[in-house]
Amino acid sequence: MPKFIRRLFLAAFIILFFSNIAAEDVEDAVEILKEKKYLADTLFEKTVWRKKISNIILEEAGETHRVSFLMIIPYPHNYKSQNYALYYEFNTYREAFEKFIYLDKFIDNNGVIRIKILGSKIISEEVIYNPFDPQL
């Protein structure tokens, strides 16, 4: 067996042995991945959590109101990268403000959502981890 593979297995064993992650947490993560809620980003889907968001902004664009995420690319993949914005679009200020407050609390409490985008516009979302769910 090549040295690289042996070192990789040794490093994985040491990390798992000395980490504070419970076996139940690992099983929960595996269940999430089995349900096809992958954390990797694609061209039309992004997984959003606190580490990927720089700011949440409430703004007005013509006749519509927007709630925007200023997204950042986490280290070490951010070398010479550009930040970008993704937004929800609403017809009334009240709807936009309610969504803004909800998303601010949701993201600050380590919530994770999977969003589908069309250009920069968020067209749908799926909650992967809800911090407000009392069953968790």
Residue 101 has pLDDT above 80, yes or no: yes
Say yes or no: 32 and 80 in one domain: no
Asked if 19 and 70 touch (Cβ cutoff 8 Å), the reply is no
Say yes or no: 30 and 45 in one domain: no
Res 41: pLDDT = 76
For residue 17, the SS3 value is: helix
Say yes or no: 44 and 79 in one domain: yes
pTM strictly above 0.75? no
- How many domains is the chain built from? 2
pLDDT in tens, 37-61: 566 777 888 888 888 888 999 999 9
DSSP letter assigned to residue 50: G
Say yes or no: 21 and 43 in one domain: no
Instruction: Report the Cα–Cα distance between both ends of the chain, in Å, rounded.
Output: 42
Q: Strand order in 121-129's β-sheet?
A: 45-48, 112-118, 121-129, 84-90, 64-71, 53-61
Distance CA 38, CA 27 (A): 15
pLDDT in tens, 56-95: 999 999 999 999 999 887 666 666 667 889 999 999 999 9
Say yes or no: 17 and 68 in one domain: no
